[in-house]
Amino acid sequence: CEEVQGYFVWRAWNRGGRVMIRPDGPDLAHSSCVSCGLCVDVCPTGALEDRSVVNYGWPERWVETTCPYCGVGCQMLVGVRGGRIVDVRPSRRLDAVNRGNLCVKGRYAWEYVYAPDRVLHPLVRVGGEWRQVSWEEAIQFVASRLKEILAKYGPRAVGVLVSARVTSEEEYLQAKFARVVLGTNNVDSCARVCHEPSAAALEEVLGTGGATNTFDDLDEARTVMLVGSNITENHPVIGVRLKRLASEGRVKLIVVDPRRTEIARYADYHLQLRPGTDVALLNAMANVIVEEGLYDRDFVARRVDGFEEFAEVVRNYTPEFAERVTGVPAGAIREAARLYATNRPSMIMWGLGATEHVQGMEIVYLLIDLALITGNVGRPGAGLVPLRGKNNVQGTAIMGAHPRKLLGAVPVSDPAQRARFERAWGHPVPSEPGMDGIEMIEAADRGELKALIVFGEDIVMSHPYRALTERALQKLELLVVVDMFHNETSKYAHVFLPAASSFEKDGTFINADRRVQRVRKVIEPLGESKPDWQIVVELARAMGYGDAFNYSSPEDVWNEIRSLWPAVYGITYERLDRGESLHYPTPSPDSPPVKVLYADKFGVGERARLRPVMYIPPPEQPTPEYPLLLTTGRVLYHFNMGSMTRRTPNAAIAPEDFVEINPEDAEALGVGDGDLVRVTSKYGSAVLRARVTDRVPRGTLFATVHYPEASINRVVGPHVDRLSHIPEYKVTAVRVERAG
């Protein structure tokens, strides 16, 4: 617990013969335990055991697969007894990203598979009520409605939202379905509302929309700058590794975050900026590096364009100016900038606190700029690592789930690329770029989008400005939801198709550091649920496109992906099943993976161009009516909108959403810890329980996003980044009052 996880739960109490090993609270549930289960794994006496093993018995067999939650991509062993999952333990593979660890989600939050409200049969809404139907009837119904809508309104009126929770093979097929069967590029994914700025900026400036380095590079980094990431709760296994490295003094740590998160306690510099002022802060760091001559002259001369123009822009952003904008002392900005530039290799990692802003893409430009001017690209221990959220969101956009990009992120507007796919698919590929997820909802609200298929995402909960999403979905003539559970989105659906969980199918996920990893079938799909790839194939066949969707297994689909995307040509199921750890690119079946990108040249060529950025104040500012700024995020025990974790014992630990409020604000408002409060913006209001804590500074609130009962996205407004269309989730002006 102490040495690996960096927690101090287990203590020796008493002395001599009376010594006892006990947690640091009255019991484990009321201790500092984060339920990672590591003590159970290593307990040499069997005194500690998982309750599920006690209840169901020791597994008869174990299957290695990939965690269904976050982008870390931990490898896990799933224990099965009598055809039922009874336990999950970490994989023993030392080359796995998790090195023998799991967090509470991967380790214990698997019982959603057996949740009593899981939808196990296809449903069609008739007269406002759900009616259970056969698969054949459901597929025929969807196919005939889609044909009618296509005939009446054309392909611009239909769209597909691809799931980031399913396998890469399934993402590829969902995107291919949109283009080949529906004839539209209206295809997007939840990356639009999380890391689209990261993928787009990295691809545009450097050449690949993914991490330049791997998580293992942390061992070689001397400085890590963590921007807008509550890493110990959102990417816990990597968070724990970073925490340990920092506490042992093996890395210097800079944390940029308005909240005093757990990892901030281990930081050498915690730059606690005002929400939405990241551009001013990062420009000021660049200012120090340029003005003090701390940039890597040789690297800039050999590999970087646009330095003079960049230096000219950042010259205006002195640390004193940034202090006035961000609230971070100029001295701390100077020292953090010097540390990042000189104590190399330095790595930058970032989360949604950096991207979910109206300047989200420009913030990522600046992170790349900082790495480029300091020569922190193309070498071990350095680089840029976006902390992707969902298990396979790294795969989503690269699989073609993007309105402007085909598989491999090649532009759909390029005739040569389209021709390549047309030859492989045997059908035309539409050339006109499509609408992204945000634009599709706006189009539905205007009555222009008529049909939408949503795979594995609760967009009513995950999109901003809930009132707009609900109004738009009500106007659709056909909404098909493919998921495991009813959710806020399925309230507006006409058809519900029951999907299998990742424990019930084969395939691959791609994690946040570009590792392609196997997902293996552990149990048969429950009830009549089916893997998404089979659902897509059946729909395509019913629409008359069986020739282009002729697959008998996920491996067939993967081999088609390999044939069309050179970066994964060398990654075969056989190599993965031999236990090889393969990041993309792995260009040939006998080549090793390229773990550190851009050692000699960038994907865009010999030189990369800096992108100077001007600070634009966020559209939401405190006013007398709405005097506080709201940011949003997640907790350790839940994943995103909570549809899976809320159906596990984790819900007992974190049973509701909450809003953090600084003690001085709370006192001024007459709000006590545990009170129910109403948070209100111009766009709506939500009721949550208050947590009075100095984790948030005065004037800033932090609310969690997991429970539909609270649905904090009612409060979040419609502002989006003009470049990437990511919504502004992190800065909304609000007021707070006691709710009863």
**Interface ranges with ligand SF4 (CB under 6 A):** 67, 69-70, 72-74, 98, 102-103, 105-106, 235-237
CB of 400 to ligand SF4, least distance (A): 24
CB of 653 to ligand SF4, least distance (A): 15
Asked if 364 contacts 209 with a C-beta cutoff of 8 angstroms, the reply is no
Peptide bond before residue 345 is cis, with ω within 30 degrees of 0: yes
Half-sphere exposure of 346 (CA within 13 A, CB side): 27
Asked if 460 contacts 486 with a C-beta cutoff of 8 angstroms, the reply is no
CB of 650 to ligand SF4, least distance (A): 11
Compare residues 95 and 673 and give the one whose CB is closer to ligand SF4: 95
Compare residues 106 and 383 and give the one whose CB is closer to ligand SF4: 106
Q: Read off φ and ψ for residue 53, nearest 5 degrees.
A: -70, -40
C-alpha to C-alpha distance for 700 and 61, rounded to whole angstroms: 50
C-alpha to C-alpha distance for 237 and 74, rounded to whole angstroms: 8
C-alpha to C-alpha distance for 389 and 190, rounded to whole angstroms: 10
CB of 70 to ligand SF4, least distance (A): 3
The CA-based angle 308-311-317, given to 5 degrees, is 160
Counted residue by residue, the chain has a size of 740
The helix/strand/coil state of 733 is strand
The helix/strand/coil state of 176 is helix
Compare residues 103 and 495 and give the one whose CB is closer to ligand SF4: 103
Match 């002392």 to its residue by tokens: 329
CB of 178 to ligand SF4, least distance (A): 28
Compare residues 98 and 631 and give the one whose CB is closer to ligand SF4: 98
Residues 6+ positions from 306 with CB-CB distance below 8 Å: 609, 610, 611, 612
The strand pairing partners of 305, in sequence order, are 609
Q: Is the dihedral of CA 213, 219, 220, 226 positive or negative?
A: positive
Compare residues 239 and 378 and give the one whose CB is closer to ligand SF4: 239
The CA-based angle 8-633-31, given to 5 degrees, is 20
Compare residues 274 and 638 and give the one whose CB is closer to ligand SF4: 638
Asked if 701 contacts 631 with a C-beta cutoff of 8 angstroms, the reply is yes
CB of 730 to ligand SF4, least distance (A): 22
CB of 1 to ligand SF4, least distance (A): 17
CB of 498 to ligand SF4, least distance (A): 24
CB of 395 to ligand SF4, least distance (A): 14
Peptide bond before residue 329 is cis, with ω within 30 degrees of 0: no
Q: Which residue is nearest to ligand SF4 (CB)?
A: 106
Compare residues 95 and 664 and give the one whose CB is closer to ligand SF4: 95
CB of 638 to ligand SF4, least distance (A): 11
Which segments of 265-325 are extended strands (E)? 269-271, 304-305
CB of 101 to ligand SF4, least distance (A): 8
C-alpha to C-alpha distance for 158 and 180, rounded to whole angstroms: 13
Compare residues 73 and 155 and give the one whose CB is closer to ligand SF4: 73
DSSP 402: B
Compare residues 272 and 650 and give the one whose CB is closer to ligand SF4: 650
Compare residues 98 and 167 and give the one whose CB is closer to ligand SF4: 98
Locate all alpha helices (DSSP H) within 510-662, ordered by sequence.
Answer: 532-542, 554-564, 573-577, 650-653
Compare residues 98 and 184 and give the one whose CB is closer to ligand SF4: 98
